[in-house]
């Protein structure tokens, strides 16, 4: 679940754009979209909080889960970056809280007083990923042409401290992209029915709010279900966020790498 949430945050933040007082063209929005990506990546020090509501199933029978999310990112020094995530989940009237910390090349997890740690691979470490991406963003920042045609439609309105962008992704475009990665290795089919989001950007070209709605169907030969998600996140404390590591990280139990087939024996048959 923590990887899903981290992935959703990264995807959502990647849609930030900022406007000005004049009427914006697609080229204007494209340039401001690029600026916001560069600003977010170069800052890499902020707090995200908000809520995520997920439901599985159809209208006749569905399972709902409400989550409160708090994420602190302190990547001022990318070689020693830290990220703390707290996810509070409410389901079936039960509430649980899980805490995950990325630091020192480990991912530390504290769930129901079970404290464990795992070595985090570079592909799962947001700071390693960012160090590899920054040179590409620097090149993009020098490009004064950005293609915003296709893939999604957008509108914008001015708000008190900046601009609010609404982006609607065309379902057929999302499905076409996903179909390129689906084959024998990925038996589950994903069909997007709706994917849209709004982003508030302030006059400093910083994202302050993200709302995303996703509606999709998932199926394979053994099951089919609907998946809906509503996410509302606030971004704040740019440049002042500090991640304080717990003093007992040495006591977290190290988990050894395992073969996935050991956890899912039927897949090994």
Could you report the per-residue pLDDT of 53-92, keeping only the tens digit for each? 999 887 666 788 899 999 999 998 888 899 999 999 987 7
Domain 2-237 sits in CATH 3.30.420: no
Residues 45, 49, 51, 54, Cα dihedral to 10° = 30
Predicted confidence at residue 242, as pLDDT, reads 94
**Within 10 A of 176 (CB to CB), how many other CB atoms are there?**
11
Alpha carbons 242 and 230: distance in angstroms, whole number: 28
Report yes or no: 85 and 47 within 8 Å, Cβ to Cβ.
no
Residue 225: partners with Cβ closer than 8 Å, 6 or more residues away: 56, 57, 58, 217, 218, 219
**HEC letters along the chain:** CHHHHHHHHHHHHCCCCCCCCCCCCHHHHHHHHHHHHHHHHHHCEEEEEEEEEEEEECCCCEEEEEEEEEEEEECCCHHHCEEEEEEEEEECCEEEEEEEEEECCEEEEEECCEEEEEECCHHHCHHHHHHHHHHHHHHHHCCCCCCCCCCEEEEEEEECCEEEEEEEECHHHHHHHHHCCCCCCCCCEEEEEEEEEEEEEECCCCEEEEEEEEEEEEEECCEEEEEEEEEEEEEECCCCCCCCCCCCHHHCEECCCCCHHHHCHHHHC
User: For 210-239, how does the pLDDT look when each residue is reduced to its tens digit (9 = 90+)?
Assistant: 999 999 888 877 778 899 999 999 999 999
Predicted pLDDT of residue 54: 92
Residue matched to tokens 């139990």: 253
Distances (CA, A) of 234 to 69, 208, 240: 10, 6, 15
pLDDT at residue 26, as a whole number: 65
Q: How many residues does the chain have?
A: 269
| pLDDT score for 191 | 83
- pLDDT score, position 149: 56
* All structural domains of the chain with their residue ranges: 2-237
Residues of the chain with pLDDT under 70: 1-26, 29-30, 59-61, 140, 143-152, 177-188, 257-269
């Amino acid at each position: 679940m923590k990887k899903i949430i981290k992935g959703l945050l990264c995807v959502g933040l990647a849609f930030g754009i900022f406007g000005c007082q004049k009427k914006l063209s697609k080229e204007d929005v494209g340039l401001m979209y690029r600026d916001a990506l560069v600003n977010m990546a170069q800052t890499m020090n902020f707090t995200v909080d908000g809520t995520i509501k997920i439901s599985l199933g159809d209208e006749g029978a569905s399972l709902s889960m409400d989550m409160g999310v708090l994420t602190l990112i302190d990547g001022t020094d990318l070689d020693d970056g830290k990220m703390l995530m707290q996810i509070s989940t409410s389901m079936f009237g039960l509430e649980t809280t899980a805490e995950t910390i990325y630091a020192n090349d480990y991912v530390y997890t504290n769930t129901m007083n079970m404290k464990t740690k795992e070595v985090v691979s570079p592909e799962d470490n947001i700071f390693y990923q960012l160090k590899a991406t920054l040179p590409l963003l620097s090149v993009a920042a020098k490009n004064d042409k950005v293609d915003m045609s296709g893939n999604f439609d957008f509108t914008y309105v001015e708000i008190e401290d900046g601009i609010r962008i609404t982006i609607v992704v065309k379902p057929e475009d999302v499905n076409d992209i996903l179909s390129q990665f689906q084959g024998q290795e990925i038996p589950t089919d994903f069909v997007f029915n709706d994917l849209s989001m709004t982003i508030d950007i302030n006059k400093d070209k910083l994202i302050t709010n993200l709302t995303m709605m996703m509606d999709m169907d998932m199926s394979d030969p053994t099951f089919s279900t609907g998946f809906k998600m509503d996410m509302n996140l606030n971004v704040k404390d740019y440049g002042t966020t500090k991640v304080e590591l717990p003093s007992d990280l040495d006591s977290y139990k190290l988990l050894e790498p395992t073969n996935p087939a050991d956890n899912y024996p039927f897949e090994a048959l």
